[in-house]
Amino acid sequence: MDIDELLARAIEMSASDLHLNVGSEPVLRIDGKLQKFPDSLPVADEDVIAALERVATRAQRDRFFEEKELDFSYQMPELGRHRVNVLIQKGVISIAFRLLSSVLSPLESLGLPPVFGEMSLKPRGLILVTGPTGSGKSTSMAAMIKHINERQERHIITIEDPIEYVHENIKSLILQRNVGEDTVSFSEALRRALRHDPDVIVIGEMRDLTTIATAISAAETGHLVLGTLHTLDAPETINRIVDVFPPEQQSQITLQLSQVLIAVLSQTLVMPGVA
């Protein structure tokens, strides 16, 4: 089994994900639905090991066998850049690929309203992009970064796990940090980023109290902060942020949030044939 060939065929079939699990055929997710890879044989243990050796560096494999979990990106010139998650289940390796477009899409081509672009050009404040897993949050946020990059001279620092879309400097100066390789954590990278003269800070996922608190403080001190949360709508997003904090801090955080929050952009994918 050649993993690059499988990825190339999956891309041709417009799949969003490719799953390799020992004992079953490779599985694709197309338009939100899982289906077996056509004309394929069950994946053997040696197949997933070979795939892991192909897509991960020695240092990444060493970290995986120590921690039993791994998130990283795999990039080939002809295949683009893809997000990879590796884990162990029932004693064997399972690999999931999230297939990403090699071309950064402009906001208009994604069908996003013009207000996404207008808000991304704000000088300061907090913008949250929310939605369930696989709803396109990272793609939308990458398009917003592209929108800024093409129009403004700004210093942008992104903190991602892993880096999904690679940005080239156009008008802006963009630094992209990969959690686990370039920095130890979101919270530490965010704290350090504030000392690196940023105008815009992009947080791949606001996971914990420290990251959320620092993001709000960064927005208060004159930075534009973009971040994602796995929430379904605007009210739930506000509640999730406030509930992270101890009860005695929630009133203060609510006040701070009201002063810096520009918008909560909640999105979900509409599947073909689903009313």
Tens of pLDDT along 70-87? Answer: 999 998 877 788 999 999
pLDDT exceeds 90 at position 3: yes
> What pLDDT score does 271 carry?
60
Specify whether the backbone of 132 is left (phi greater than 0), alpha (psi in -120 to 50) or beta: beta
Question: b/e for 57-83, b at 16 or more Cβ within 10 A?
Answer: eeebbebbeeeeebbbbbeeeebbbbb
Is 275 inside a domain boundary? no
pLDDT exceeds 50 at position 229: yes
The count of domains in the chain is 2
Instruction: Indicate the pairing of strand 125-130 with strand 224-229.
Output: parallel
> What pLDDT score does 76 carry?
81
* Same domain as 230, residue 154: yes
CATH number of the domain residue 251 falls in: 3.40.50.300
Average pLDDT rounded to a whole number, residues 115-144: 92
> What pLDDT score does 275 carry?
43
pLDDT digits (tens, 9 = 90+) for 240-250: 999 999 999 99
Is 274 inside a domain boundary? no
> What pLDDT score does 260 carry?
97
**Are 188 and 124 spatial neighbours (Cβ–Cβ below 8 Å)?**
no
Residue 119 banded pLDDT, cuts 50, 70, 90: very high
* Same domain as 59, residue 42: yes
* Same domain as 93, residue 12: yes
> What pLDDT score does 162 carry?
86
Domain that holds residue 18: 3-99
